[in-house]
């Protein structure tokens, strides 16, 4: 909330109040059908108690934000975010549906109106509420393994059957030090018996203190031929105010050092290789490269130099916007692995069809994409940020098998 002005917070509170006024108007119309005055009064009190409490909590948090410890601050902000979404969206849907039913009332008899409008209206409000509650308390940590299979003649024969496990966007601060949750994901990854484990950035939300205790969990990740990582836009500390540049630099250095503790090779605009039977393939990692307003720290040309001669190369680049701008058609990099979008943590997945509002910002926002002989995989993220839930966009572990 540090990023939002007092006027923005005022507009948010005003929007909540107006929607709640409209919702209460229709709720009152429905409760008038009840012959229990005391129950009606209880319903009305509970309704306004929650509304006033939510607005008051937002205002108080904004006023006291600078005096709250960062760890507690994040917990309070995400909790309020979840409460606001779980209240605001169902009420908007409730108001829209019941308004449509009321103003199309001429097609219903008076008896039908007394039954249909209240029932459908309440369902329109309660159903989204329960869906959002499920997204927050259940789906958020229902890790899903996506299996992908790619065939290519470019991969040297000694590497045929290469299994790459791709994870991204851990945002460890959002787990609030609940180590046992991520340990479930670690077990799933190790069960896949990967040849390579790659992580494509956003280890933290902002701060190195978020990493406390996580080395013991992350160090349990096992692969046959190495573990590699790059940084994401949240790993640079750019989204916080710092008392000095030295503090920001110290925070950044601590985040980079964490990768040494968990035996990951952090690639900072660097290229390296892995070898089997004297045959090499290239692993390239660039720093964050995104379209404005995201920073462009990445230098692909520099990272390519040590491995440009190798026929098969895998690139780790946090932001999928990088692929069409500098990779596909510009290089011979076979496979690019990205994250960043989280699939907006909300969408629809039906067999081979998928949709999310994030598609209007990112052309390549989730899953496997191909142009010619080049591939891009966008991981939906293993952690979360902002809204503490996932709607139809489960946290992802990608298992990619590459064969000839």
pLDDT of the residue at 226: 97
Number of domains within the chain = 2
Contact criterion met (CB below 8 Å) for 152 and 385:
no
Cβ density class 12-46: b for 16+ within 10 Å, e for less: bbeebeebbebbbebbeebbeeeeeeeebeebeee
Examine the domain organization and report whether 67 and 91 are in the same domain. Answer: yes
Quote the pLDDT of residue 370: 97
SS3 labels along 298-357: CCHHHHHHHHCCCCCEEEECCCCCHHHHHHCCCCCCCEEEECCCHHHHECEEECCEEECH
Domain final residue, candidates 102, 137, 172: 137
Residue 258 makes CB contacts below 8 A (sequence gap 6+) with 203, 208, 211, 214, 215
Alpha-carbon gap, residue 161 to 246, rounded angstroms: 46
* Domain C-terminal end among 81, 109, 137: 137
Quote the domain boundaries for residue 164.
142-403
Asked whether the beta carbons of 234 and 290 are under 8 A apart, the reply is no
Is residue 197 situated within a structural domain? Answer: yes
Residue 383 has pLDDT above 60, yes or no: yes
**Domain match, 192 and 304 both:** yes
Q: What is the share, in percent, of the chain residues with pLDDT greater than 70?
A: 94
Assess if residue 1 is contained within a domain. no
Instruction: Decide which of 137, 155, 184 is a domain's last residue.
Output: 137
- Give the pLDDT confidence of 89-135 residue by residue, as tens digits: 999 998 888 888 777 765 455 555 555 666 776 787 788 889 999 99
pLDDT score for 305: 97
pLDDT band at 393; cut points 50, 70, 90: very high
At residue 115, the pLDDT reads 59
263 plus 373 within the same structural domain: yes
Determine the distance from the C-alpha atom of residue 293 to the mean position of all C-alpha atoms in its chain, rounded to a whole number: 18
Query: Could you tell me if 190 and 75 lie in one domain?
Result: no
pLDDT at 112 (0 to 100)? 52
Residue 274 has pLDDT above 90, yes or no: yes
Cβ density class 177-210: b for 16+ within 10 Å, e for less = eeeeebeebbeebeebebbbbbbbbbbbbbbbeb
CA atoms of 382 and 345, how far apart (whole Å): 10
pTM: 0.88
- Mean pLDDT to the nearest integer, 23-35: 83
Indicate the average pLDDT of the chain.
91
List C-alpha distances in Å: 167 to 59, 146, 170, 171, 373.
37, 11, 8, 12, 23
Same domain, residue pair 231 and 364:
yes
Looking at residues 286-303, what average pLDDT do you find?
A: 96
Looking at the structure, tell me whether residues 301 and 163 fall in a common domain. Answer: yes
For 323-341, the pLDDT digits (tens) are 999 999 999 999 999 999 9
Answer yes or no: is 381 within a domain.
yes
Q: At what angle do helices 37-64 and 6-31 cross, to 10 degrees?
A: 170
**Distance from the first to the final alpha carbon of the chain:** 50
234 and 372, same domain (yes or no): yes
Per-residue pLDDT, 114? 54
Mean pLDDT throughout 223-236?
98
In the beta sheet, which residues pair with residue 272? 283
Instruction: Check pLDDT > 60 for residue 65.
Output: yes
* CA 57 to chain centroid: 25
* Count of other CB atoms within 10 angstroms of residue 90: 21
Helix residue ranges, H only, 104-138? 110-137
Q: Are residues 82 and 151 in the same domain?
A: no
**8 Å CB contact between 208 and 251:** yes
pLDDT by residue (tens digit) across 159-205? 999 999 999 999 999 999 999 999 999 999 999 999 999 999 999 99
The helix/strand/coil state of 264 is: coil
pLDDT-wise least confident of 41-55, 254-268, 305-319: 41-55
Check pLDDT > 60 for residue 64: yes
**Same domain as 197, residue 127:** no
Query: 77 and 182, same structural domain?
Result: no
Distance CA(91)–CA(89), nearest Å, equals: 5
- Give the model's pLDDT for residue 78: 84
Identify whether residues 188 and 309 lie together within a single domain. yes
Instruction: pLDDT band for 1, please (50, 70, 90 cuts).
Output: very low
Strands 396-403, 162-167: pairing is antiparallel
Assign residue 289 the CATH number of its domain: 3.60.21.10
Note whether residue 81 is domain-resident: yes
């Amino acid at each position: 909330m540090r990023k939002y002005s007092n006027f923005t917070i005022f507009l948010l509170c005003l929007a909540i109040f107006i929607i709640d006024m409209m919702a209460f108007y229709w709720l009152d119309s429905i409760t008038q059908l009840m012959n229990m005055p005391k129950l009606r009064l209880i319903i009305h009190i509970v309704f306004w108690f929650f509304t006033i409490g939510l607005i008051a909590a937002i205002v108080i948090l904004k006023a006291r934000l600078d005096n709250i410890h960062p760890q507690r601050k994040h917990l309070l902000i995400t909790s309020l975010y979840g409460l606001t979404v779980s209240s605001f969206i169902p009420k908007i849907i409730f108001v829209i549906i019941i308004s449509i039913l009321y103003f199309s009332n001429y097609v219903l008899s008076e008896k039908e109106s007394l039954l249909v409008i209240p029932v459908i209206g309440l369902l329109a409000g309660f159903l989204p509420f329960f869906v959002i509650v499920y997204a927050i308390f259940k789906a958020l940590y229902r890790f899903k393994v996506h299996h992908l299979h790619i065939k290519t003649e470019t991969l040297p024969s000694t590497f045929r059957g290469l299994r790459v496990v791709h994870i991204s966007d851990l945002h460890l601060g959002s787990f609030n030090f609940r180590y046992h949750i991520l340990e479930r994901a670690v077990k799933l990854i190790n069960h896949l018996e990967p040849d390579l484990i790659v992580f494509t950035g956003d280890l933290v939300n902002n701060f190195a203190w978020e990493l406390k205790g996580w080395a013991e969990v992350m160090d349990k990740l096992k692969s046959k031929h190495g573990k590699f990582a790059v940084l994401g836009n949240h790993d640079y500390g750019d989204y916080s105010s710092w008392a000095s540049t030295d503090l920001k630099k110290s925070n950044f250095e601590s985040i980079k050092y964490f990768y040494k503790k968990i035996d990951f090779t952090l690639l900072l605009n660097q290229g390296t290789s892995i070898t089997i039977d004297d045959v090499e393939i290239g692993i390239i990692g660039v720093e964050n490269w995104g379209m404005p307003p995201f920073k462009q720290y990445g230098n692909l040309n520099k990272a390519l130099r040590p491995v440009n001669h190798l026929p098969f190369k895998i690139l780790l680049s946090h932001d999928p916007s990088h692929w069409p701008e500098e990779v596909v058609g510009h290089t011979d990099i076979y496979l690019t692995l990205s994250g960043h979008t989280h699939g907006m943590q909300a969408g629809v997945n039906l067999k081979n069809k998928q949709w999310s509002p994030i598609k209007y910002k990112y052309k390549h926002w989730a899953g496997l994409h191909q142009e010619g002989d080049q591939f891009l995989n966008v991981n939906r993220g293993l952690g979360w940020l902002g809204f503490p839930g996932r709607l139809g966009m489960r946290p992802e572990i990608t298992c990619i098998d590459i064969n000839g």
